[in-house]
């Protein structure tokens, strides 16, 4: 079974003994699955704006949110899944596999957009409320069908709440280049990625959208940096190198995390222009992953690395549903996105009662957990079938 960089097949790695054989002794990092599953739950809640549970999600307690966690873990997963195979001389084969994975994500995105457009179109037709189309830019398909289809095919048209997969598609597609550079020097890979990040901020580089103006909501030229940092972490684990433990770094990460929480909860904002400092160093724009957001997610990741997550997760069954969501992240994300759209429609045509919202959110999360459980049951059952039976059914 091929490893996939969406944590459906993420191997683990030893935390010490940095020898050549360490990369072969891989198991599974449940904490990656757990954080990915928790990020999916957070994304689902945030994608139904106005609900009472929204105020308890991570973006209300710091500068970053679940999107940064999602991309960081995607990079770590890519390093865990592919670096060793690149090292073993299978670079061309693994590059093709990665590109096939990227195409699989692309296909899922196209199908998801079509399904969402159909749901939104049906709702608009039944209610006579065209705002349902406008609020997610699906009105482009009505006003300019040809341009809309071109934008959909080229990823230039990204309806609201459907812009994380295009970013993921691009990052996975370019990951062979990053892995190839990292196989020579991880420091060089990070330096080149960081240079592109800074150049993007200073020169306002972006990928254009189409047919709507401006650019991508998640600028890949900036977000590739957090992906590359995650990739470096994954490679470090594959090599068996221990993550650095530094009291000063821990204190700085804790201070920054607490400061960010106070800043957000108190509603502070920077009133003056801090020139000559570049704006990306003190603003909080999500599109270009500005520095305060990047530092915040890295601080959280460093603090989380101190937690005995593996022991906790292996000793309790209560968090198993969240772990399974992370292990089957792509179908769960697509299903959750559809459910969140239905939730938005129900809130618009309904009363927006807080109790109803909570019931709707909880039901949606349970349905996603149920889907993850069914997918895991199917995966385990398929793997346990006799080889001859599998071959016969495949033929």
Distance CA 255, CA 139 (A): 45
Distance CA 297, CA 253 (A): 10
Q: Which residue has the higher pLDDT, 21 or 73?
A: 73
What's the token pair of residue 340? Answer: 């969140």
Which residue carries 């040809």 as its tokens?
146
Neighbours of 120 (CB within 10 A): 23
The confidence score (pLDDT) of residue 292 equals 95
Number of DSSP helices (H) and strands (E) in the chain, helices first: 16, 0
- The pLDDT tens digits for 179-194 are 999 999 999 999 999 9
Task: Find the range with the poorest average confidence among 7-21, 207-221, 331-345.
Answer: 7-21
For residue 217, pLDDT beyond 50: yes
3-state secondary structure of 68: helix
- The pLDDT tens digits for 122-154 are 998 888 888 788 878 888 988 899 999 999 999
Closest CA to 194 of 319, 326, 73, 289: 289
- Whether the CB-CB separation of 77 and 372 falls below 8 Å is answered with no
Confidence class of residue 23 from pLDDT cuts 50, 70 and 90?
A: very low
Q: What is the mean pLDDT of the chain?
A: 87
Q: What is the pTM of this model?
A: 0.88
Confidence class of residue 338 from pLDDT cuts 50, 70 and 90?
A: very high
The confidence score (pLDDT) of residue 275 equals 66
3-state secondary structure of 215: strand
For residue 309, pLDDT beyond 70: yes
Which neighbouring-strand residues pair with 208?
215
Task: Find the range with the poorest average confidence among 24-33, 113-122, 168-177, 253-262.
Answer: 24-33
The confidence score (pLDDT) of residue 385 equals 61
The fraction of the chain above a pLDDT of 90, given in percent, is 67
The confidence score (pLDDT) of residue 18 equals 36
Confidence class of residue 282 from pLDDT cuts 50, 70 and 90?
A: confident
- Whether the CB-CB separation of 341 and 161 falls below 8 Å is answered with yes
Mean pLDDT of 106-129: 92
The confidence score (pLDDT) of residue 383 equals 73
Instruction: Say if residue 391 is preceded by a cis peptide, omega within 30 of 0.
Output: no
């Amino acid at each position: 079974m091929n490893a996939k960089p969406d944590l459906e097949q993420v191997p683990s790695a030893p935390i010490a003994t940095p020898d050549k054989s360490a990369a072969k002794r891989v198991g599974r990092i449940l904490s990656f699955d757990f954080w990915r599953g928790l990020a999916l739950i957070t994304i689902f809640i945030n994608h139904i704006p106005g609900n009472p549970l929204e105020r308890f999600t991570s973006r209300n307690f710091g500068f970053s949110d679940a999107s940064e966690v999602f991309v960081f873990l995607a990079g770590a997963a890519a390093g865990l899944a592919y670096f060793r195979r690149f090292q073993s001389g299978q670079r061309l084969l693994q590059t093709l596999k990665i590109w096939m994975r990227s195409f699989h994500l692309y296909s899922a995105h196209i199908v998801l957009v079509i399904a969402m457009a159909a749901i939104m179109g049906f709702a608009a037709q039944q209610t006579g409320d065209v705002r349902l189309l406008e609020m997610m830019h699906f009105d482009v398909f009505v006003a300019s069908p040809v341009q809309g289809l071109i934008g959909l095919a080229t990823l230039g048209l990204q309806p609201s709440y459907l812009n994380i997969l295009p970013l993921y598609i691009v990052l996975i597609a370019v990951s062979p280049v990053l892995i190839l550079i990292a196989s020579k020097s991880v420091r060089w890979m990070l330096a080149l990625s960081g240079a592109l990040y800074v150049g993007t901020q200073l020169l306002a580089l972006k990928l254009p959208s189409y047919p709507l103006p401006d650019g991508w909501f998640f600028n890949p030229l900036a977000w590739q940096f957090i992906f590359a940092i995650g990739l470096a972490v994954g490679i470090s684990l594959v090599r068996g190198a221990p993550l650095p433990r530094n009291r000063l770094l821990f204190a700085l990460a804790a201070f920054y995390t607490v400061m960010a929480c106070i800043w957000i909860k108190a509603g502070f904002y920077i009133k003056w222009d801090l020139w000559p400092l570049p704006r990306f160093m003190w603003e909080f724009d999500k599109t270009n992953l500005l520095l305060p957001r990047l530092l915040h997610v890295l601080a959280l990741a460093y603090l989380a690395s101190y937690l005995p997550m593996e022991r906790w997760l292996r000793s309790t069954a209560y968090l198993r549903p969240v772990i399974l969501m992370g292990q089957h992240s792509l179908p769960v994300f697509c299903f959750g996105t559809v459910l969140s759209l239905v939730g938005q429609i129900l809130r618009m045509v309904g009363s927006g009662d807080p109790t109803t919202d909570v019931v709707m959110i909880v039901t949606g999360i349970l349905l996603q957990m149920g889907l993850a459980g069914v997918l895991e049951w199917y995966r385990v059952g398929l793997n346990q079938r006799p080889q001859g039976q599998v071959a016969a059914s495949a033929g």
